[in-house]
């Protein structure tokens, strides 16, 4: 079974991340907003990994808390952001990993593989 990955956000970087992961054989679902991702989760579609592009999403911290606390999902959450404040917020909210934006594709792939190995 292919690992299912939600890539949340919009814009060129987010599309590049999604295309690269799909090219490596992952089942990628692109979701433009946190609300779309929340709707998919509430319908019972659960990914192995959530990749959230902070620059293209709003309310990342509350969404990560929702996934961790309300859904209690055993999924890895990878946040891609621009600065130390976003990293601190991501980890404080329950993110598993953080990559600096723009994330290099090799680093993204390595991080996804490491998350799946856990």
Taking only the tens place, the pLDDT of each residue in 36-86 is 999 999 998 899 999 999 876 778 999 999 999 999 888 999 999 999 999
Per-residue pLDDT tens for 103-117?
A: 999 999 999 999 998
Instruction: Give phi and psi for 6, each to the nearest 5.
Output: -90, 130
Instruction: Map out the domains of the chain as residue ranges.
Output: 4-117
Find out whether 93 and 61 touch, Cβ atoms under 8 Å: yes
Cα 39 to Cα 42: distance, rounded to the nearest angstrom:
5
Tell me, which fold does domain 4-117 have in CATH? Rossmann fold (3.40.50)
């Amino acid at each position: 079974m292919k690992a299912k990955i939600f890539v949340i956000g919009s814009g060129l970087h987010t599309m590049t991340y999604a295309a690269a992961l799909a090219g490596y054989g992952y089942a990628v679902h692109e979701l433009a907003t946190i609300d779309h991702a929340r709707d998919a989760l509430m319908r019972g579609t659960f990914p192995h990994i959530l990749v959230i592009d902070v620059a293209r999403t709003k309310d990342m911290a509350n969404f990560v808390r929702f996934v961790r606390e309300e859904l209690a999902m055993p999924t890895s959450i990878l946040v891609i952001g621009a600065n130390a404040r976003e990293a601190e917020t991501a980890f404080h909210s329950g993110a598993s990993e953080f990559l600096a934006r723009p994330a290099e594709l090799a680093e993204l792939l390595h991080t996804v593989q490491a998350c799946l190995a856990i």
